[in-house]
């Protein structure tokens, strides 16, 4: 698949992308573990069919210490034994927050998230789910393909 359009060729889209990335950097200051953020972003990328995001977040999760077993089971997390209750709550929030039109985030999922995460971590999770949904949509619209990402590749955007 060839990309339809390079967002960095548009001055406006390039500015938005850089600011979008800088906004996401604030999540590094939260106490929400990076590996968990990557798992959530990976799941949203899978749900939205974003090869570019699946590529990024699989590789970043591995760089953050995730095992191949856990990465391979993210798509079937409900039917696996390798995720903690807190991780399961975060993955459920990721799915329901991505599929808002189905039924939104259920009270049960919200209660599980609140049980496992403090206020700052809940806020970070909501932001992670929201930001990665926007990113996946941009990449799917322009057909950004996965496969060529190298961990840390976008660090230059923060400068």
Residue 17 has pLDDT above 90, yes or no: no
**CA–CA separation, 122 and 13 (whole Å):** 29
Q: Which residue has the higher pLDDT, 17 or 130?
A: 130
Task: Name the CATH architecture for the domain at 33-152.
Answer: Up-down Bundle (1.20)
pTM score of the predicted model? 0.94
With a pLDDT cut of 70, the percent of the chain lying above it is 97
Q: Mean pLDDT, the chain, as a whole number?
A: 94
User: Over the stretch 39-74, which tens digit does the pLDDT of each residue have?
Assistant: 999 999 999 999 999 999 999 999 999 999 999 999
Q: What mean pLDDT do residues 77-103 have? A: 97
Q: How far apart are the first and last CA of the chain?
A: 30
**CA–CA separation, 136 and 138 (whole Å):** 5
pLDDT of residue 21: 86
Residue recorded with tokens 């996401």? 24
**CA–CA separation, 36 and 66 (whole Å):** 9
Q: What mean pLDDT do residues 109-121 have? A: 98
What is the largest distance, in Å, between two alpha-carbon atoms of the chain? 46
Domain map (residue ranges) of the chain: 33-152
């Amino acid at each position: 698949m060839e990309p339809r359009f390079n967002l960095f060729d548009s001055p406006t889209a390039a500015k938005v992308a850089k600011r979008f990335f800088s906004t996401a950097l604030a999540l590094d200051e939260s106490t929400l573990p990076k590996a968990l953020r990557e798992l959530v972003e990976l799941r949203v990328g899978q749900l939205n069919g974003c090869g570019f995001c699946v590529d990024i977040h699989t590789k970043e999760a591995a760089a953050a210490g995730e095992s191949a077993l856990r990465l391979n089971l993210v798509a079937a997390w409900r039917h696996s034994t390798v995720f903690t209750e807190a991780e399961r709550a975060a993955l459920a929030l990721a799915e329901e927050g991505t599929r808002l039109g189905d039924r939104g985030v259920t009270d049960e999922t919200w209660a599980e998230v609140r049980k496992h995460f403090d206020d700052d971590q809940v806020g970070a999770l909501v932001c992670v789910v929201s930001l990665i949904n926007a990113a996946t949509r941009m990449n799917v619209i322009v057909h950004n393909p996965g496969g060529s990402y190298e961990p840390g590749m976008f660090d230059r955007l923060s400068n």
